[in-house]
Structure formats: structure tokens, C-alpha cells
Amino acid sequence: DTGVSQDPRHKITKRGQNVTFRCDPISEHNRLYWYRQTLGQGPEFLTYFQNEAQLEKSRLLSDRFSAERPKGSFSTLEIQRTEQGDSAMYLCASSLGGGPGANVLTFGAGSRLTVL
Amino acid sequence: DQQVKQNSPSLSVQEGRISILNCDYTNSMFDYFLWYKKYPAEGPTFLISISSIKDKNEDGRFTVFLNKSAKHLSLHIVPSQPGDSAVYFCALGGTGFQKLVFGTGTRLLVSP
């Protein structure tokens, strides 16, 4: 297993365009998280899946954001009508729920979004 | 509502000396505490953790201390090495929390 993979690593887009990020978690992990990190801040929680069910969404996740995890495997995060304030690093993480390991998230390298 | 604070945005230490990174929190319901390390252009990497039933956990050069009454967490690195230069985040979670809440990070620079 190569860990958590995210694609693309970098995305530059114009304001108003839609973007989609993909995350492939560690295969045996049933929990998948999306976080966002801006300069000088720590990662901020966006949303969380257990298997295919989206169990929690942050207030940070406006209606322009949607996340899916079909079949409980990979996940996508789509941002519609991007705004300059969406520029950030989008981090995906996974963990194995059900025990102490549930708290230890393994992160991918992130997808950096720049909205011009 | 900032539940987790790392009040030192940066720390400079000489190689071989001790690095002490601090983290304060407000919510006493947290019962699992972690430190992550982040290099540029990479995602955060898990470093060490501690549960609320302990006050110290050690792993090689890294030791995490938990003071529940003061709601304070610290990470000691000794001896510090130049390769330890990175941004360190504390992260809190545990029973009843589906996610980790991260601090703002402390940038550690270890000079030779």
C-alpha cells in the first residue's frame, strides 16, 4: 500500500470554474476525512466519511462544496463556482475506525488550489 | 472559537539542545492527543500520541507530556537535529469526537 494518494497535486483555475479533487485512502481504512489548510493555520476539518456514509460536515463547507465516497473506497471533493477565498491546500486523510487507531489519521500530500 | 492554541508561531534551537513545543486547549472532553510534523509540500505525518489516562509518553527522542488540569500538552525533542526542522501541529480528539482538531502550528528551526 502506497499510503493516501491525492490528485491533482496542484490546480490553478479561474474564478467561477468548477474543480474536483480525488483521494485514494489506505485500502483497509474505513474512515476518510477532508481538511483544508491555509497559510499560517492548522488543518481545518471539512467533512468525514465512514465507509460510504458522509457522517459530518463542517460549517466551513458551503453549498458550493460537495464530497462523495461511492462504494466506500476513493473520495472526490468538488468545488463549484470557485472563489479566490477557496485558494488553499486540500488535505485528505484516512484512518481505521473502531479502536485507538481511529484517532490516528494518515494524510496524503494534499491538493493545492489556486483561484485567480 | 479556537479550541486549540499553539502560542509560539516559531522556535529556533541549536542542534543537540532540547526543543519544547507547547499546546493549550479549552475543551476538557478531549481525551486523545497527538503531534504531527509537516514538511513543505507534504501532508502532516503522525509523530506521537498520548491518551488522557497517561501524563507522559516517550518514543526515542520524542516525549509528549500531558497536564490535564492545566489543559496543556507539550512535545520535547532531545537531542534536536537539523532534520527535525518542520512545522509541528498538536491535534486533539478522542471518545465522542469523530475528527481531530488541530492547532495553528509551530515552525521549528534546528540550526547546526
Residue B1 has what pLDDT? 58
**Model confidence pLDDT, tens digit, residues A71-107:** 889 999 999 999 999 999 999 999 987 776 778 899 9
pLDDT for the residue A100? 67
Residue that is written with C-alpha cell 493549550 in the block: B24
Helix (H, G, I), strand (E, B) or coil at B93: strand
Reported as a pLDDT band with limits 50, 70 and 90, residue A2 is confident
CA distances from B95 to A53, A98, B31, B49 (A): 20, 11, 7, 15
> Facing residues of A90 across strands?
A36, A111
Residues of chain A by 3-state class (helix, strand, coil), percent to 5: 10, 50, 45
Q: Kindly determine whether residue A44 and residue B42, on different chains, have CB atoms separated by under 8 Å.
A: no
Considering only residues 70 to 109 of chain A, which have any Cβ-Cβ distance to chain B shorter than 8 Å? 91, 93, 100, 103-109
Q: What percent of chain B has pLDDT over 70?
A: 98
Residue B42 is nearest to which of A41, A44, A109, comparing CB atoms?
Answer: A109
Average pLDDT of the residues in B13-24:
98
Q: Which residues of A touch B44 (CB under 8 A)?
A: 43, 91, 107
Please provide the average confidence, as pLDDT, over all residues in chain B.
94
Cα B73 to Cα B64: distance, rounded to the nearest angstrom: 7
Helix, strand, coil % (nearest 5) of chain B?
5, 55, 45
| Minimal-distance CA residue of chain B relative to A31 | B98
> Among B68, B70, B77, which Cα is nearest to B35's?
B77
Q: Using CB atoms, pick whichever of A43, A55, A100 lies closest to residue B44.
A: A43
Residue B20: all three cell numbers together = 519544547
Q: Tell me if B1 sits within 8 A of B98, measured CB to CB.
A: no
pLDDT (tens digit, 9 = 90+) per residue, A23-76?
999 998 999 999 999 988 999 999 999 999 999 999 888 899 999 998 889 999
* Chain A residues within 8 A of B95 when measuring between CB atoms: none
CB–CB contact B49 A104 (8 Å): yes
